[in-house]
């Protein structure tokens, strides 16, 4: 594998905080699938995946990486995303599970989180 999953995951968490969207999308294979959160409609391909991350562009945001577990071409990452917009702060703590192709591109990402992992507060 050209790129190690751990490196891609660390880059992913960093880019979720900083953008730009195109750099996040570039981590995915052209035919990748994203299910975020788990149980929601799956997004297929760069165009649909781009829609998900474009929503973050106008927000102040930061991330904190907690744990990365890698086994072969699979990885799980625990992190926290904090966003701020219009006097509201949102804190989300997902576990993203990813599968990679031979080139180190993400082919499948499933984000595990529910209402208890999402906190909203006035700032």
> Does the active-site annotation cover 12?
yes
Give the number of other CB atoms < 10 A from CB of residue 100: 25
- Do residues 49 and 32 lie in contact, with contact meaning Cβ atoms separated by under 8 Å? yes
The active-site residue, picked from 12, 28, 53, 96, is 12
3-state secondary structure (DSSP) of residue 20: coil
User: At 107, phi and psi to the nearest 5?
Assistant: -105, -25
Question: 117 to each of 53, 91, 114, 120, how far by Cα in Å?
Answer: 19, 8, 5, 10
Q: Which of 28, 36, 53, 96 is catalytic?
A: 36
Q: Tell me which residues are annotated as active site.
A: 12, 36
């Amino acid at each position: 594998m050209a790129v190690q999953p751990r490196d891609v995951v660390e880059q992913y968490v960093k880019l979720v905080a900083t953008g730009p969207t195109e750099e996040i999308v570039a981590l995915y294979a052209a035919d990748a699938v994203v299910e975020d959160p788990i149980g929601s409609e799956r997004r297929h391909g760069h165009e649909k995946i781009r829609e998900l991350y474009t929503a973050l562009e106008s927000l102040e945001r930061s991330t904190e990486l907690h744990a990365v577990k890698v086994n072969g071409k699979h990885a799980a990452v625990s992190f926290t995303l904090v966003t701020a917009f219009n006097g509201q702060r949102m804190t989300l703590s997902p576990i993203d599970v990813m599968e990679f192709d031979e080139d180190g591109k993400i082919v499948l990402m499933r984000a595990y989180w529910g209402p208890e992992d999402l906190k909203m507060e006035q700032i």
